[in-house]
Structure 1
Amino acid sequence: MAKVAFLGLGVMGGPMARHLAAKGHDVTVYNRTKAKADEWVGAHGGKAAATPREAAEGQEIVFACVGNDDDLRQVTTGPDGAFSAMGKGTVFVDHTTASAEVARELAAAAEQAGFGFIDAPVSGGQAGAENGVLTVMCGGDAETFARVEPVIGSYARACRLLGPVGAGQLAKMMNQICIAGLVQGLSEAVHFGKRAGLDIEAVLDVISKGAAGSWQMENRGKTMNEGKFEFGFAVDWMRKDLSIVLAEARRNKARLPVTALVDQFYADVQSLGGGRWDTSSLLARLEK
């Protein structure tokens, strides 16, 4: 069992930290809203810290799952950041979906201070976090990864090292590119089927067993057809992720015409008031 800290107790971080505690790890938590950290401790045990620095003090591994690059810098190298308290030989594991650039920046700072850094964005959504079955895409060196992999296994069904620091974030970008295209395709199919007068649920049940099948179809097809979008991975978050993807594509000269188009479709959903709707709400802009 390890002494660990978890920074960020949102819809993903809260359940991930819970699984760590359930597996017997000694967990200290930090959240920007202190009441949420106190509530988490009341439900799951462990300790709450007032700052990231305080949370990181004396820990073997410090995990983070926050909003974006700026939030990540705030909890690591900002005033009272975790990096100032991390000892030599410890490891920082970042589960935030952020840029590969910030991963490399923070890894360099960690190396200079004598501790390890793994960028480890996740896929699987809130349900995956709640059920402890996330997919974790990692970047870093093999020795550091080997030390944290068993602990990450507390809430992951798949965890793989994909290359040096930044590779995890780049893999997550590929994941979001795939999702954007799949959800738009599924939205158009459901929209088309409705206009054609088909029994959408019956059709999806059949075609999900063939080459058109996907996680999105299995998990979102029925709720899309019912016009239910008040759950899941929010459009605002997806646009944040796609902005990271498109910025990286500008750097590496990748051509992403469909991703850029779907990003604008999500902007349309935001203009409909759907910023907090699930990403499957692309259907709503076709039916407005």
Structure 2
Amino acid sequence: MANVAFLGMGVMGAPMAGHLAKAGHDVCVYNRTSAKAESWVEVHEGTSAETPRAAAAGRDIVMACVGNDDDLRGVCLGDDGAFAGMAEGALFVDHTTVSAEVTRELAAAAAEKGIAWVDAPVSGGQAGAENGQLVIMCGGAQDDYDRAEPVMAAFAKVSRRMGDVGAGQLTKMVNQICIAGLVQGLSEAMLFAQKAGLDGEAVVDVIQGGAAGSWQMVNRHKTMLEGKFDHGFAVDWMRKDLRICLSEAENIGAPLPGTALIDQYYKDVQAMGGGRWDTSSLIARLKALGA
């Protein structure tokens, strides 16, 4: 069992930290809004701290799942940041989806203090976090990954080292590029089925076992057809992720015309007031166009 700090008690971080506590790890949590950390402690075995530094002090492993690049910098750096409280030889595991640039920046800052780093973004959404069934894509030294993997197992369905520092974030970008195209294609298909007078549920029942099948089809077609988008991964966060993808694609010379177009479609959904809707709400944009 490990002494772990977990920074970020959002819809992903809170259940992930909960699985760590249930697995028997000694967990101290931190959240920018302290009430969320206090609420977590009321439900789980563990403690909370007022700063990332205090949470990280004396911990073997510090994990984070926050919002974006700046949020991650905020919990890592400065007098109250986690790095200031971590001992030489401790390990920082970042589950946030951020840019490869900030990952390399913070990994280098950690290395200067003798702190190991693993970038470990996750896929599976809120349901995956709550059920302990996340897919984790990791970047870092093999020895550091080997230290992190048994602890991450508390909330992982699959965990794999993809390469050195930054490889986890690059793999997550591939994941988000795939999802964007899948959701747009499924949105068009479900709208077509409805306009053609077909039973969308029956259509999916037939085709999901063939070449068109996907997780998105199995798990999102029904709510798409019903126009329910109050679950899952929010459009605002998807646009953040796609901007990271598009920026890195420009850096490495990988054209992503479809991804760039779908990013603009999500911008349209935001303009419709759907920033907090699930990403499957792309079908709502199509329905508005056809109204």
Q: Give the TM-score normalised by structure 1.
A: 0.99
Q: CA deviation at 1:137?
A: 0.2
Matched, 1:92 2:92: yes
Distance 2:230 2:156 in 1: 25
The 8 Å contact of residues 95 and 122 in structure 2, kept in 1 or not, is answered as yes
The one-letter code sitting in structure 2 at the alignment partner of 1:15 is P
Report how many residues are paired. 288
**Where does residue 268 of structure 2 map in the other structure?**
268
What is residue 112 of structure 1 aligned with on the other side? Answer: 112
Deviations 1:3-60 (A, max 9, x none): 0000000000000000000000000000001011011001102111000000000000
Question: 2:225 is aligned with what amino acid?
Answer: N
RMSD of aligned C-alpha atoms?
Answer: 0.6
Per-residue CA deviations over 1:114-147 (Å, capped at 9, x if unaligned) read: 1100000000000000000100000000011101
Q: Which residue in the other structure is 1:62 paired with?
A: 62
**Structure-2 separation of matches of 1:78 and 1:177:** 33
SS in 2 for 1:246: helix
Cα shift at 1:88: 1.1
Query: 1:220-239 to 2 correspondence within 5 Å?
Result: 220-239=220-239
SS of the equivalent of 1:108 reads helix
Structure 1 residue 129 corresponds to structure 2 residue 129: yes
- d(CA) in 1 for partners of 2:243 and 2:264? 11
Q: Tell me the alpha carbon deviations over residues 197-222 of structure 1, each in whole angstroms, 9 at most, x when there is no partner.
A: 00001001110011000000000001
The answer on whether the counterparts of 2:135 and 2:156 sit within 8 Å (CA) in structure 1 is yes
Amino acid at match of 1:58: G
C-alpha distance in 2 between matches for 1:243 and 1:78: 27
Tell whether 2:46 aligns with 1:46: yes
Aligned to 1:185: 185
Paired with 1:240 and 1:252, the residues of 2 have a C-alpha distance of 19
1:133 and 1:230 mapped to 2: Cα distance?
Answer: 21
Partners of 1:115 and 1:264 in 2: how far apart? 39
Looking at structure 1, the residues matched to 79 and 249 of structure 2 have their Cα atoms a distance apart, in angstroms, of 32
* Cα separation, 2, equivalents of 1:27 and 1:73: 22
Distance 2:190 2:251 in 1: 35
For 2:108 and 2:41, the matched residues in 1 are separated by 33
2: distance between equivalents of 1:125 and 1:36? 19
Deviation at 1:243, TM superposition (A): 0.5
Gaps of 5+ in 1: none
Match of 2:150 in 1: 150
**Corresponding position: 1:34 with 2:34:** yes
SS at match of 2:89: coil
Equivalent residue, structure 2, for 1:164: 164
Aligned counterparts of 2:2 and 2:269: Cα–Cα separation in 1: 43
Deviation at 1:110, TM superposition (A): 1.1
Residue 79 of structure 1 deviates from its aligned partner by 3.7
Does the CA contact (< 8 Å) of 2:78 and 2:84 recur in 1?
no
Segments of 4+ moved more than 6 angstroms: none
Alpha-carbon distance in structure 1 between the residues aligned to 2:67 and 2:98: 8
1:72-91 alignment runs, 5 A limit: 72-91=72-91
Aligned partner of residue 205 in structure 2, secondary structure: helix
Give distance in 1, aligned partners of 2:108 and 2:208: 45
- Give the TM-score of the pair, scaled to structure 2: 0.98
Answer whether contact 2:204 2:217 (CA < 8 A) is retained.
yes
Corresponding residue for residue 286 of structure 1: 286
Q: Which position in structure 2 is the counterpart of 1:103?
A: 103
- Looking at structure 2, the residues matched to 89 and 147 of structure 1 have their Cα atoms a distance apart, in angstroms, of 11
Secondary structure of the 2:163 match is: coil
Distance 2:79 2:2 in 1: 26
> 1:139 and 2:139 equivalent?
yes
Partner of 1:198: 198
Contact kept in structure 1, 2:234 and 2:275, CA below 8 Å: yes
Matched residue SS, 1:162: strand
1:212-227 aligned at under 5 Å gives the runs: 212-227=212-227
CA distance in 1, matches of 2:79, 2:286: 46
